[in-house]
Amino acid sequence: ALDERLAAAFGACSGPALLIGMDTPQVTPALLTVDWDAYDAWFGPALDGGFWALGLRRPDPALLRGVPMSLPTTGAVQYERLRAAGLRTGRLPLLRDVDTAEDARAVAAEAPSGAFAARLAALSATAPRAAR
Protein backbone atom coordinates (compact mmCIF):
# COMPACT_ATOMS: atom_id res chain seq x y z
CA ALA A 1 0.00 0.00 0.00
CA LEU A 2 1.13 3.57 -0.64
CA ASP A 3 1.23 4.48 3.05
CA GLU A 4 3.69 1.63 3.64
CA ARG A 5 5.89 2.66 0.69
CA LEU A 6 5.99 6.28 1.90
CA ALA A 7 6.70 5.10 5.45
CA ALA A 8 9.57 2.97 4.13
CA ALA A 9 11.01 5.96 2.26
CA PHE A 10 11.08 8.00 5.46
CA GLY A 11 12.39 5.00 7.38
CA ALA A 12 15.44 4.94 5.10
CA CYS A 13 16.34 8.53 6.03
CA SER A 14 18.65 9.44 8.88
CA GLY A 15 18.05 13.19 8.84
CA PRO A 16 15.51 15.73 7.68
CA ALA A 17 13.61 14.57 4.59
CA LEU A 18 11.17 16.28 2.26
CA LEU A 19 9.17 14.00 -0.01
CA ILE A 20 7.34 15.50 -2.99
CA GLY A 21 4.82 13.99 -5.34
CA MET A 22 5.93 13.22 -8.85
CA ASP A 23 2.63 14.55 -10.16
CA THR A 24 3.34 18.20 -9.31
CA PRO A 25 5.53 19.40 -12.20
CA GLN A 26 4.92 23.06 -11.31
CA VAL A 27 7.05 22.75 -8.16
CA THR A 28 10.02 25.11 -8.09
CA PRO A 29 13.15 25.02 -5.90
CA ALA A 30 11.80 28.02 -4.01
CA LEU A 31 8.76 26.00 -2.90
CA LEU A 32 11.06 23.35 -1.47
CA THR A 33 13.05 25.70 0.71
CA VAL A 34 11.97 24.85 4.25
CA ASP A 35 13.23 26.00 7.63
CA TRP A 36 13.89 22.93 9.78
CA ASP A 37 14.69 25.17 12.77
CA ALA A 38 11.21 26.69 12.70
CA TYR A 39 9.15 23.51 12.19
CA ASP A 40 9.31 19.78 12.89
CA ALA A 41 7.25 18.94 9.82
CA TRP A 42 6.20 20.52 6.55
CA PHE A 43 2.93 19.78 4.78
CA GLY A 44 1.95 20.69 1.22
CA PRO A 45 -1.79 20.20 0.65
CA ALA A 46 -3.15 19.27 -2.78
CA LEU A 47 -6.32 20.69 -4.29
CA ASP A 48 -7.91 17.23 -4.52
CA GLY A 49 -7.64 16.65 -0.75
CA GLY A 50 -4.35 14.80 -0.79
CA PHE A 51 -0.89 16.22 -0.31
CA TRP A 52 1.97 16.98 -2.67
CA ALA A 53 4.74 17.33 -0.09
CA LEU A 54 5.55 16.00 3.34
CA GLY A 55 8.66 16.88 5.26
CA LEU A 56 9.85 15.50 8.58
CA ARG A 57 12.81 16.82 10.53
CA ARG A 58 13.02 13.47 12.33
CA PRO A 59 11.58 10.90 9.91
CA ASP A 60 9.17 8.57 11.64
CA PRO A 61 7.47 5.93 9.46
CA ALA A 62 4.67 5.54 12.02
CA LEU A 63 3.40 8.99 11.05
CA LEU A 64 2.39 7.62 7.65
CA ARG A 65 1.34 4.04 8.32
CA GLY A 66 -2.41 3.64 8.28
CA VAL A 67 -3.17 6.96 6.59
CA PRO A 68 -5.77 6.15 3.91
CA MET A 69 -4.32 7.22 0.56
CA SER A 70 -5.93 8.49 -2.64
CA LEU A 71 -9.06 9.77 -0.91
CA PRO A 72 -10.44 13.31 -0.65
CA THR A 73 -9.60 13.14 3.09
CA THR A 74 -6.01 11.88 2.81
CA GLY A 75 -4.43 15.28 3.34
CA ALA A 76 -6.61 16.15 6.32
CA VAL A 77 -5.88 12.80 7.97
CA GLN A 78 -2.13 13.13 7.37
CA TYR A 79 -2.03 16.72 8.61
CA GLU A 80 -3.97 15.80 11.75
CA ARG A 81 -1.58 12.87 12.33
CA LEU A 82 1.33 15.35 12.39
CA ARG A 83 -0.49 17.71 14.72
CA ALA A 84 -1.60 14.89 17.05
CA ALA A 85 2.05 13.84 17.34
CA GLY A 86 2.77 17.31 18.69
CA LEU A 87 4.83 18.37 15.68
CA ARG A 88 5.12 22.06 14.85
CA THR A 89 3.93 21.87 11.26
CA GLY A 90 4.59 24.47 8.57
CA ARG A 91 2.28 24.75 5.60
CA LEU A 92 3.47 24.84 2.01
CA PRO A 93 1.22 26.32 -0.70
CA LEU A 94 -1.88 24.53 -1.93
CA LEU A 95 -1.06 22.95 -5.31
CA ARG A 96 -2.98 21.01 -7.90
CA ASP A 97 -1.51 17.62 -8.68
CA VAL A 98 -1.94 15.99 -12.08
CA ASP A 99 -4.41 13.13 -11.99
CA THR A 100 -6.51 13.92 -15.08
CA ALA A 101 -6.22 15.64 -18.47
CA GLU A 102 -8.04 18.64 -16.99
CA ASP A 103 -5.45 18.79 -14.19
CA ALA A 104 -2.65 18.60 -16.78
CA ARG A 105 -4.05 21.56 -18.70
CA ALA A 106 -4.53 23.61 -15.51
CA VAL A 107 -1.03 22.87 -14.21
CA ALA A 108 0.52 23.67 -17.60
CA ALA A 109 -1.31 27.01 -17.54
CA GLU A 110 0.13 27.73 -14.06
CA ALA A 111 3.68 27.12 -15.30
CA PRO A 112 3.50 27.87 -19.04
CA SER A 113 7.26 28.18 -19.55
CA GLY A 114 8.09 24.82 -17.98
CA ALA A 115 9.01 21.54 -19.62
CA PHE A 116 5.67 20.00 -18.61
CA ALA A 117 3.67 22.69 -20.45
CA ALA A 118 5.88 22.32 -23.52
CA ARG A 119 5.49 18.54 -23.59
CA LEU A 120 1.72 18.77 -23.08
CA ALA A 121 1.48 21.29 -25.95
CA ALA A 122 3.50 19.00 -28.20
CA LEU A 123 1.34 16.02 -27.35
CA SER A 124 -1.84 18.03 -27.84
CA ALA A 125 -0.67 19.18 -31.27
CA THR A 126 -0.17 15.59 -32.45
CA ALA A 127 -3.21 14.03 -30.76
CA PRO A 128 -6.16 12.96 -32.89
CA ARG A 129 -8.90 15.59 -32.82
CA ALA A 130 -11.36 13.28 -30.98
CA ALA A 131 -8.87 12.79 -28.13
CA ARG A 132 -8.44 16.53 -27.45
List the chain domain ranges. 2-91, 101-131
pLDDT for the residue 6: 97
Query: What crossing angle do the helices spanning 115-126 and 101-110 adopt, rounded to 10°?
Result: 130
Structure-model confidence comparison of residues 99 and 17, the more confident one:
17
**What CATH topology corresponds to 2-91?**
Spore Coat Polysaccharide Biosynthesis Protein SpsA; Chain A (3.90.550)
pLDDT in tens, 72-109: 999 999 999 999 999 999 999 999 998 888 977 887 88
Q: Report the pLDDT value the prediction gives residue 19, as an integer from 0 to 100.
A: 95
* DSSP E strand stretches across 24-120: 41-45, 51-56, 89-91
Pairing outcome for strands 51-56 and 17-20 = antiparallel
The predicted pLDDT at position 106 comes to 84
pLDDT of res. 98: 87
